[in-house]
Structures are given as structure tokens and as C-alpha cells.
Amino acid sequence: MLAGAAPAHAGSFEACLAAIRPSALKSGVSAATYDRATAGLAPNPEVFDLARAQPEFKTPIWDYLAGLVDEERVADGRAMAAQWSRALAAAEQRFGVDGATIVAVWGVESNYGRAFGNRPLIQSLATLSCGDYRAAYFRTEFLAALKILDRGDVRPDQFAGSWAGAFGHTQFMPSTFLRVAVDMDGDGRRDLINSVPDALGSTAAYLRKAGWTTGLPWGFEVRLPAGYSGPSGRKGRQPMEQWAARGITRIDGRPLGAGQAALLLPAGPNGPAFLVTRNFDAIFSYNAAESYALAIALLSDRLRGGRGIVTPWPTRDPGLSRADRRELQTLLMRRGYDLDGKADGVVGTKTKQAIADFQSKRGMTPDGRASVSVLEAARGR
């Protein structure tokens, strides 16, 4: 276990679970459910490593978006929007959130149901509840997860997800599920794992509660005047007239329009710039990371037929789409690197180590980053 991530209780993990039990029972979890869920449970210290390596905060924005808003995810999203058009229409009618935004959340959160996460939620949340990394927060989620089991909303054998406890098609935290999830397919259960309509409707319900305003765009890309040094930041909303007075226009030169927005500069004043509305803040609340919210916002634009970002990122070595990452992994395996025989587009530890070794042998900076320069070198260019 990492330094600073040891169990918060002086005793064992079992003692910690025993200490939580009275609170769980007081909150409404049955003794039978608690005892059954925690019997023989062992901690998983890997969750602390994962907590400290969240890609939203560790990955350059151009790499992060290159993998999340690629042509593959756009094409898949359009297909899913067509397949689930009736469920999306029902969600939009009930909650006022457009289908493209709902599908974009689905695409970013679980790649349209292909990547739920396979970590047992009870184990992960119990481990985090007994550590000193946001233990109070995760203890609340642990109790919420037990309530979900107690109510029979999720079968124990299906209750798996991310290291932090998010689960289902649109990756709700357990407390969010209890507070927001809705039954959209009419079967009497709220099921984010087996029911796409429930997941899509619940996502719309969440965004609505987070302040979503029907018909308001999340924002749009803008062009800054040369040498811009004025205010920026997601929380600094001002009238469009003030942004226009500073020489800011839409990327295509059109007027900004009416309303209020904040200026977002995810890579500084030399990269793409966006004016974002309170609907962007509603998306942000889903995962509290600007890069994450921007990925959903930009993907939703692409799903509507938009062209994506116009201004280039301030880097000479852009990131790779998932298709390009798979090609890079295939080329590295052909060169003898051990990637467990998988070219899955996921840049994990083994892929980073292989890239770093390849870079070192080629006289490149061995940073382990999957980039255009590495792919071109692996192609022999």
C-alpha cells in the first residue's frame, strides 16, 4: 500500500469494517446484507495507486482528447444515437437534455457500454473507506452501495465498476444512483447495468438537477485577439458583450450572441479557447475535471455534425487516436515488446514502458508518451 494510504484505523481492515457496521445499520442497511457483503472481504491497495493517477489531471489535454474524441467514438456515438433514438427522445422530453449530450456522456464514461470497469465495488469502496485518501467521502459511497444491494437494484455478482465505485453505462456513483436514477423502461427497477434507457434517462435527470438549461449551448470555440491577457477561468462568467468588447469572436468570425459565459483556456492563451455557459458547468459536475467536461462537450458537437476544434493545440507532437494507439502497440509487439499480446488502444503501464524503451533506443526523450513522433518512428519513418 502506498505511503499515506494505510488503513485509517490502527487495527486491521476487519476491525475497520466492524467499526463501520453500526453506522451502516443505522443508515438502513440490513445486518444480513452488511455481513454477507463484507464476509471474508480483503482490501485492494491498488485503488490508491489509481486514485493518484487519474488521467483527467495527469495527461496533457491534447492527448486526453485525442483518445476520447476520435473518429471511432464519433461514428459509434452516431450509431448508438440512431439505435436508441426512442429512449433518447423520451429522456429529452422528460428532462430537457438533448440526445447528443446524453450520448456523449455515455461514450466518454463507458465507451457506449463496452467498458464498465471490472473491479468489485464493495471491495474497492471498503478499501477506500478504511484508508486516509478521502475516507469520509468513500465511506458515504460504501454505505450507499450497500443500500443498493439491500434494495435489490443490482445483483451482487454484477456490482463491479471503476476503482472509485462508479458503475453502469454512464458510471454513476452509488450515492448519485440513490438520489437521481430513474426507471425509464417501466420495469419497476432502476438498472444502469442492464437497461440502456434507464442509464440514458438517469444521465439526463442528473444533468437537469445539476442546472442544465434546455436550448442553451454548452459553449463554443472562440478566437482571441493577438496578445490576449485578459480574464479567464470557468467560474468567471460575464456578459457576452464584455467578451466582445475585448475583441473575442466566434471561431468563424460571427458575433458572440447574448447571455453569459466564461472563457476557458485549457492549454493557455496560445491554444484553443472556448466561451462556456452554465451548461458546461452542469457537465463539469459529473466528474469535476475541465478536460473531462470538454471531452463530452466536444463529442456532443461532433455527434451533431460539427467539425470539432479548429485552433491547433500548442504542441509539435500531437496525441494519438485509439486507432493510432492500437497501431503503435502492434508495431511495438512486432519489435519484441511484451504487451500481453493486446493492441487495445489503452496506454497502460506496459505500453508506457515499451514506448520509453523504444524512445531511449531511438535517441528520443524516454517519457513513455504515445504521440505522433513515436508512431512515425515505429513505422520506420
Q: 120 in a domain, yes or no?
A: yes
| pLDDT of residue 142 exceeding 80 | yes
Per-residue pLDDT, 132: 77
Distance, in Å, from the CA atom of 137 to the CA atom of 194, rounded to the nearest integer, reads 27
- Apex 179 CA angle, 209 and 73, nearest 5: 65
Distance, in Å, from the CA atom of 171 to the CA atom of 177, rounded to the nearest integer, reads 9
CB–CB of 238/261 below 8 Å?
A: yes
Per-residue pLDDT, 381: 64
Q: 44 in a domain, yes or no?
A: yes
Under the banding of pLDDT at 50, 70 and 90, the label for residue 16 is very high
Closest CA to 260 of 276, 244, 274: 276
State the average pLDDT over residues 258-282.
97
Under the banding of pLDDT at 50, 70 and 90, the label for residue 362 is very high
- The domain of 28 spans 13-52+116-181
Per-residue pLDDT, 195: 97
Distance, in Å, from the CA atom of 294 to the CA atom of 302, rounded to the nearest integer, reads 12
6-15, 180-189, 262-271: segment of lowest average pLDDT: 6-15
- Beta strand ranges found along the chain (DSSP E): 119-120, 160-161, 219-223, 238-239, 249-250, 260-264, 273-276
Q: 101 in a domain, yes or no?
A: no
Domain boundary among 131, 148, 181: 181
Q: 135 in a domain, yes or no?
A: yes
State the average pLDDT over residues 68-79.
98
Q: How many residues can be counted in the chain?
A: 381
Per-residue pLDDT, 295: 98
Q: Which of 92, 109, 141, 221 is catalytic?
A: 109
| pLDDT of residue 5 exceeding 50 | no
Under the banding of pLDDT at 50, 70 and 90, the label for residue 8 is very low
Identify the top-confidence range among 8-12, 187-191, 196-200.
196-200
Which amino acid belongs to residue 249?
T
As a whole-number percent, the residues of the chain with pLDDT over 70 amount to 95
Closest CA to 290 of 312, 264, 311, 326: 264
Distance, in Å, from the CA atom of 223 to the CA atom of 244, rounded to the nearest integer, reads 11
Distance, in Å, from the CA atom of 274 to the CA atom of 259, rounded to the nearest integer, reads 15
Per-residue pLDDT, 56: 47
Domain boundary among 125, 149, 181: 181
List the CATH number of the domain containing 172.
1.10.8.350
pTM for the model stands at 0.93
CB–CB of 73/111 below 8 Å?
A: yes
Under the banding of pLDDT at 50, 70 and 90, the label for residue 47 is confident
State the average pLDDT over residues 277-283.
98
Q: What is the pLDDT of residues 204-251, one digit of tens each?
A: 999 999 999 999 999 999 999 999 999 999 999 999 999 999 999 999
Under the banding of pLDDT at 50, 70 and 90, the label for residue 12 is confident
**Per the structure block, which three cell numbers stand in for 84?**
436508441
Mean pLDDT, the chain, rounded, equals 93
CB–CB of 116/320 below 8 Å?
A: no
| pLDDT of residue 53 exceeding 80 | no
Per-residue pLDDT, 289: 92
Per-residue pLDDT, 6: 47
Q: 30 in a domain, yes or no?
A: yes
The H or E element spanning position 367 is: none
Q: 191 in a domain, yes or no?
A: no
| pLDDT of residue 7 exceeding 50 | no
| pLDDT of residue 81 exceeding 80 | yes
Catalytic (active site) residue 109: yes
Per-residue pLDDT, 341: 85
Q: What is the pLDDT of residues 119-135, one digit of tens each?
A: 999 999 999 999 877 88
| Domain count within the chain | 2
Q: 277 in a domain, yes or no?
A: no
Under the banding of pLDDT at 50, 70 and 90, the label for residue 51 is confident
| pLDDT of residue 11 exceeding 70 | no
- Beta strand ranges found along 63-168 (DSSP E): 119-120, 160-161
Burial 326-348 (b: 16+ CB within 10 A, else e): bbbbebbbeeebebeeebebebe
Q: What is the pLDDT of residues 85-112, one digit of tens each?
A: 999 999 999 999 999 999 999 999 999 9
**Per the structure block, which three cell numbers stand in for 358?**
523504444
| pLDDT of residue 156 exceeding 60 | yes
Closest CA to 63 of 321, 236, 324: 321
Q: 267 in a domain, yes or no?
A: no
